[in-house]
Chain A
């Protein structure tokens, strides 16, 4: 951060203002949505049609192309959320708190998708919807952490306090997530001995490629939804400001009424 030249520094904070970030996000959304759709199409085609069936698990393994990307995103989004929260605590930029709040529902959605696809996968492969395996349990707790963050920020009416409280909670959470992960991991190994490994032993190159493409698609999708949501949050917060009322999409609806 401190090595930046003055001009790029100005650039960084230039887009920290909601009024300049709003149109930028608007321009970026179609690109990320398009990329997500394109990558998902190629990834699904490779995964569903081209990649061979698994030696042990047959065709059922193909849910991996949804399961692994959503699991990765669920964990990654929490770290990004904490990153924006730290920025918010240090520089008091309102936009970063909004970014964290826009990310949380997508993170919760990814965690839920990971749990659901995991259950759908587990039933035919392990014969059960759910086991108290370390990975499953820590993902469930991560899902609750997202829900807690959303519930806290939504139940505080004062925007300033809501932003700050969310940032503090995300900060506490990001210290705790590794602790939770390892504690659940040790707890499991302590009590149940060796359990089923959640990963196949080796992977064909085509499978790996499809999975990476799907992960990139999930990433682009998350960015697009997050930007869309942050635009809504900006409109909500700044609805009384002049620049919002002068936006073509807002001005037209006001006129229509």
Chain B
């Protein structure tokens, strides 16, 4: 079996597993919608105010919803022992981890990104803004999945692992939030927002390149 086929089989396997557990995705989406609903209740429903805070609020909500799903990335496989077997395959473990991250991104972040425009319309964002929200989420969420995946591997099986994961990963994800919501804000200010989007894409490239390898190292520790 070639490396590419190995990668694809990991992705297919994890997608099938998450399809069997599709309630988890719904929980994430509900959390996303709930956080976005709480803000108008807290700060007041004036359309002008919501339009101003909308991009930031939706980006924070999407970030938190993604964070909520991250412990799932390795936990199931770790509990039933299949993670150990996956690490024992003759293929580089970074490729296996990259496959799992890819499947997790497809099954968790894509639905969240697709739900974001709907919430954006509820906040009164015009079409060019919610389109940029969708684009920035599509470019930015791979960073959340890959960098967060390193955190998930480091905290695998620890007491308070989920809280610890948030503490480790959220400061590191500050740039993603800044450039992601910045892209939408730039569109709102009449610019193209492509500068922020390009920076986000550059960060994504770096994270996708480095993170699977580091996460694989961390997983080996969790298993020993």
Contact = CB atoms under 8 A, between A and B. Distances in A.
A151 B164 contact: yes
Interface stretch (A59-67, A141-149, A197-205, A211-219): A141-149
Contact of B174 (A155, A160, A180): A180
Interface residues of B, number: 31
Interface in B192-224: 199, 203, 206, 210-211, 214, 217-218, 221-222, 224
A29 interface: no
Q: Is the interface of B mostly helix, strand, loop or mixed?
A: helix
Interface of B: 147, 150, 154-155, 158-160, 164, 167-168, 170-172, 174-175, 178-179, 182, 185-186, 199, 203, 206, 210-211, 214, 217-218, 221-222, 224
Nearest to A162: B221
B168 A148 contact: yes
B137 to A, nearest CB: 17
Contacts of A43: none
Contacts of B164: 148, 151-152, 155
Contact of B150 (A148, A172, A183, A190): A172
Contacts of B147: 172
Contacts, number: 75
Contact of A144 (B150, B159, B171, B221): B171
A172 B160 contact: no
B154 A169 contact: yes
Nearest to A181: B175
Nearest to B215: A168
Contacts of B178: 183-184, 186-187
B179 A183 contact: yes
A22 B199 CA distance: 46
Interface string A125-167: 0000000000000000100110110011001100011001100
B70 to A, nearest CB: 15
B203 A168 contact: no
A183 B174 contact: yes
Q: Which 10 A-B pairs have the closest CB atoms?
A: A183-B175, A144-B171, A148-B168, A187-B178, A161-B221, A141-B171, A183-B178, A148-B167, A176-B172, A165-B154
A161 B214 contact: no
A69 interface: no
Given A156-B158, A187-B178, A168 B150 contact: yes
B148 to A, nearest CB: 11
A38 B172 CA distance: 38
